[in-house]
Amino acid sequence: MSSIPKTQKAYILTQGVEKLSLEDRPVPELKPGEVLLRVRASGLCHSDLHILDGSISLSSLCSLPASPILGHEIAGEIVAHGPNVDPDLFPTNQLYSVFGPNPCGLCSECRYGRDNLCLSPTRLIHGLGHPGGFEQYTAVNIRNLVKVPEGISPEVAAVTSDAVLTPYHALKKVYLTGLSRVLIIGLGGIGINAVQIAKAFGAHVTAFDLKESSRELARKFSADVVLDSLTVKEASHDYDVVVDVVGIQSSFEIALKQVKTYGSIVLIGLGSPVLNFFTTPLCLKETHILGTFWGTSQEQIEVFDLVKKGKIKPQVEVGKFEDLNEFFQKLKHGQIKSRVVITQTD
């Protein structure tokens, strides 16, 4: 194991500034129950862009002061064990992914198994309040370590912890059979995995994106129908489930028009802070609107099993830690077709 430096490089968020600044920061000191991860890979999520452009504030996600270090899709190796951590149970020669929601384990939602929805006022989400993966070394409580099965790369492990987990959790909320018709709106980092998961659950999948490179991927992953345009006027009222991975007024209106009577709209996208809808058609159709947030720690283990078995093949575009800001610009301008992951080597 290489020696651990006292300081490290970390990307720092300044409110109102879209570019993260690369600065020297202390390597975190470990509290009881924590390990130090050498970060190997961190995914770039569109939620980070919402933070960078100010449309979502970190303070809305936590009640304690938030760390300015983003990055909530993290994979790495342990380089130090804190007090009360048994190194035999958490070996160093193993790749780990981080369960980002960082739940308390004690509140009613945690005890119910919905630990993504932890109610603790002191919990801080990794990369969205707690220091995240856009640093070289990060402290993680052992309860948030998920062992990555052999054969899965750090890049794929990082995205599996959100870009796969989120659509998996979302699609488990609805009852899918071989007869189910699913429409997925937005085929980026999250949506392209939603296509694969809905197919793995046996559904008929229609995939829609404005971007050809993402539509091409959806075809590759056997979406039954791939659309380059879909307007509110082209209402089919045909889908049991519409997954809106964009979450803006126009995508939500399409979802409302396309969904069947008694069907479900699963809202993943956070593109707009407010969405409007007419109440009468919603009630007459008894449409279910389901909000969804990330996934549970148990589901994180389940998605790794699916990736290991090849049922889901997360797509990644790999970049260097030094080029993080450039990749955020590309993501912002629709120049990324799947998910960017920045990697770090020694």
Is residue 173 classed as helix, strand or coil in its secondary structure? Answer: coil
CB of 32 to Zn ion, least distance (A): 18
Contacts of residue 334, Cβ cutoff 8 Å, sequence gap at least 6: 210, 211
Residues 118-157 that bind Zn ion (CB under 5 A): 118, 120
* Out of 49, 56, 79, 104, the residue judged to bind Zn ion by CB under 5 A: 104
Measure Cα distances from 314 to 73, 85, 293, 343 in Å: 13, 32, 19, 16
* Out of 35, 36, 45, 324, the residue judged to bind ligand NAD by CB under 6 A: 45
* Out of 73, 115, 209, 253, the residue judged to bind ligand NAD by CB under 6 A: 209
CB of 290 to ligand NAD, least distance (A): 11
* Out of 35, 158, 268, 342, the residue judged to bind ligand NAD by CB under 6 A: 268
From the list Zn ion, ligand NAD, none, pick the one residue 103 interacts with, judged by a Cβ distance below 5 to 8 Å according to partner type: Zn ion
Q: Where are the alpha helices (DSSP H) in the chain?
A: 46-52, 108-111, 154-159, 165-172, 191-200, 212-220, 249-258, 279-284, 297-308, 324-332
191 interacts with ligand NAD by CB under 6 A: yes
E strands present in 6-151: 7-12, 21-26, 34-43, 73-81, 95-98, 125-126, 129-130, 137-141, 145-147
- 80/140 with CB nearer Zn ion: 140
* Out of 246, 303, 312, 324, the residue judged to bind ligand NAD by CB under 6 A: 246
Measure Cα distances from 205 to 89, 181, 208, 211, 229 in Å: 42, 6, 10, 18, 16
Residues 281-340 that bind Zn ion (CB under 5 A): none
Residues 319-338 that bind ligand NAD (CB under 6 A): 331, 334
* Binding piece for ligand NAD, criterion CB under 6 A, among 63-71, 143-151, 203-211, 235-243: 203-211
